[in-house]
């Protein structure tokens, strides 16, 4: 073997050993890198699982439920005759009477002068201490005032008998002077019934005026035509009713209904006093507004009882109840101050809606499974339909606390 060949064999062997050594070192580095990277992969896996668990736990902590409820309804067309009593202690429908007094003034330009003969007017309270029996008094019953003047009653009236309590029977009535003239104007007066003079009743029946007696006049004064006066009185009526109605509405307690047709303005436009000021006549119109108030819940229940077959007694409401038309029977022959009972009619289209006890409904839902929701609805005949929405969406049960459940009832259907 030649020397060169031997050198080549030694060189190849050396190269092979170096190559094997490099391969061994490379394999070791790969194994070392894999060993180094394994803990990092495990750390990321644990972190990911932890985040998923945290989100899942958080969703349970902040879970909620929302229920949209459509209550049971019934459309009706009313033409209902009803009876109500002013005594709320009696079973059945009752009413309250709101009474508000006021006056309205307006300046009317005088169109000339004429002779005026105007009788003073006022109001008196007549008392009966004679017997337990009522006493009828005819129109134009003469009353003798403590000023020596004679006044007459404007209407027929009945003075109630004296109750067993000893309190005199009494009635309020309007009066006017027997003659025209300023001399009949007066401050408060005491009266006797002139026709009872010489009988035992004379000392047992007496009257006292409420406030002043005014408006008496005789002589020449600025005047307005009948047409202008009628127009001014009409405007005063409208203004007075608007003003008194606003006062009445401001006084209505919550839960009561005052129908727009259940208000009545009582005025005496035949006795509208006129006062002269700066060549103008100041016209004054006084009146009382009477309004019938009804407890909304009781009235609604009464309507439901009369219009729903086999009404279950559950609480209901009529959203548009104030839009119903109210008509009072015999209103032209009614004395509002002495009214005890009324007959009236309610008419118009209405929708009866069953109310839902949301607290009880919520309590029945607490912690229940989503699949039990429809079964729970069957216990509530006053619910027409309802939709349950859970958050997060994958929840299969309703939260177990009141604060996490929201009930939305659609009463505006």
Nearest to 137 by CA among 152, 158, 151, 122: 158
Q: How far apart are CA 99 and CA 292, in angstroms?
A: 9
- Spatial neighbors of 371 by CB under 8 A, at least 6 apart, are 396
pLDDT of residue 298: 92
Give the per-residue pLDDT at 119.
93
pLDDT of 79 over the 60 cut? yes
For 150-169, how does the pLDDT look when each residue is reduced to its tens digit (9 = 90+)? Answer: 999 999 999 999 877 778 99
**pLDDT of 227:** 85
3-class secondary structure, 359: helix
Calpha distance 50→48 (Å, rounded): 5
Is pLDDT above 90 for 189?
yes
Q: Could you tell me the sign of the dihedral formed by the alpha carbons of 367, 370, 371, 374, in that order?
A: positive
pLDDT per position as a tens digit, 8-29: 554 545 555 555 555 555 454 5
pLDDT confidence of residue 51: 53
Higher-pLDDT residue of 312 and 399 is 399
Residues in the chain: 413
Average pLDDT over residues 58-76: 83
Q: Enter the DSSP assignment of 309.
A: T
Q: Where are the domains of the chain?
A: 1-58, 64-73+355-409, 80-101+221-347, 117-219
Backbone angles phi, psi at 110, to 5 degrees: -70, 140
For residue 33, pLDDT beyond 80: no
Would you call 81 helix, strand, or coil by DSSP?
strand
Angle at 248 between CA 245 and CA 253, to 5 degrees: 145
Mean per-residue pLDDT of the chain: 84
Higher pLDDT pick, 40 / 306: 306
Strand partners, 127: 170, 206
- Furthest-apart CA atoms within the chain: distance in Å: 183
Render 117-179 in DSSP notation, one character per residue.
EE--EEEEEEEE-S-SS-EEE-TT-EEEETTS-EEEESS-EEEPPPPTTSPPEEEEEEEEESS
Check if the beta carbon of residue 295 is closer than 8 Å to that of residue 94: yes
In DSSP notation, 171-219 reads EEEEEEESS-SGGG-BSS-EEEEGGGTTSTHHHHEEEEESS-BB--EEE
Q: Per DSSP, what are the bridge partners of residue 104?
A: 285
Share of the chain above pLDDT 90, in %: 57
For 62, what's the count of Cα atoms within 13 Å in the CB-facing half-sphere? Answer: 6
Question: Which comes out higher in pLDDT, residue 141 or 267?
Answer: 141
What's the average model confidence in pLDDT over 203-221?
A: 91
pLDDT attached to residue 343: 94
pLDDT per residue over 47-60, tens digit each? Answer: 556 555 555 555 55
Q: Which helix (H) or strand (E) holds 305?
A: helix 296-307
Sign of the alpha-carbon dihedral angle for 270, 271, 272, 275: positive
Average pLDDT over residues 333-349: 88
Quickly count: other Cβ atoms within 10 Å of residue 290's Cβ: 19
* 409 pLDDT tier (thresholds 50, 70, 90): very high
Query: pLDDT tens-digit profile of 145-155?
Result: 999 999 999 99
């Amino acid at each position: 073997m030649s020397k060169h060949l031997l050198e080549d064999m030694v060189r190849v062997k050396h190269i092979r050993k170096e190559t094997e050594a490099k391969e061994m070192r490379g394999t070791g580095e790969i194994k070392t890198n894999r060993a180094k990277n394994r803990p990092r992969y495990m750390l990321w896996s644990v972190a990911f699982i932890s985040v998923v668990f945290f989100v899942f736990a958080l969703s349970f902590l902040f879970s909620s439920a929302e229920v949209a409820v459509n209550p049971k309804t019934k459309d009706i067309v009313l033409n209902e005759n009803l009876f109500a009593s002013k005594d709320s202690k009696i079973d059945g429908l009752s009413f309250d009477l709101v009474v508000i007094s006021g006056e309205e003034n307006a300046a009317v330009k005088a169109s000339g002068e004429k002779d005026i003969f105007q009788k003073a007017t006022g109001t008196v309270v007549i008392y009966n201490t004679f017997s337990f029996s009522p006493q009828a008094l005819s129109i134009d019953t003469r009353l003798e005032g403590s000023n020596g003047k004679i006044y007459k009653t404007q209407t027929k009236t009945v003075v109630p008998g004296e109750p067993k309590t000893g309190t005199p029977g009494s009635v309020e009535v309007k009066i006017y002077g027997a003659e025209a003239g300023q001399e009949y104007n007066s401050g408060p007066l005491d009266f006797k019934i002139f026709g009872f003079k010489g009988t035992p009743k004379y000392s047992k029946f007496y009257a006292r005026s409420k406030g002043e007696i005014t408006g008496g006049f005789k002589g020449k004064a600025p005047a307005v035509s009948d047409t202008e006066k009628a127009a001014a009185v009409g405007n005063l009526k409208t203004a007075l009713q608007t003003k008194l109605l606003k006062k009445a509405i401001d006084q209505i307690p919550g839960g009561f209904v005052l129908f727009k047709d259940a208000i009545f303005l009582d005025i005496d436009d035949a006795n509208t006093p006129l006062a002269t000021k700066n060549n103008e006549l100041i016209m004054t119109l006084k009146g009382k507004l009477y309004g019938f108030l009804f407890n909304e819940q009781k009235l609604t229940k009464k309507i439901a009882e009369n219009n729903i077959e086999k009404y279950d007694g559950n609480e209901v409401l009529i959203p548009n109840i104030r839009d119903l038309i109210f008509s009072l029977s015999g209103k032209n022959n009614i004395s509002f101050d002495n009214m005890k009972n009324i007959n009236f009619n309610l008419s118009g289209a209405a929708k009866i809606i069953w109310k839902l006890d949301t607290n009880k409904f919520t309590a029945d839902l607490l912690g229940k499974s989503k699949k039990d929701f429809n079964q729970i609805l069957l216990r509530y005949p006053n619910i027409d339909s309802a939709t349950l929405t859970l958050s997060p969406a994958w929840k299969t049960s309703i939260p177990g606390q009141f604060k996490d459940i929201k009930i939305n009832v659609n009463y505006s259907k």
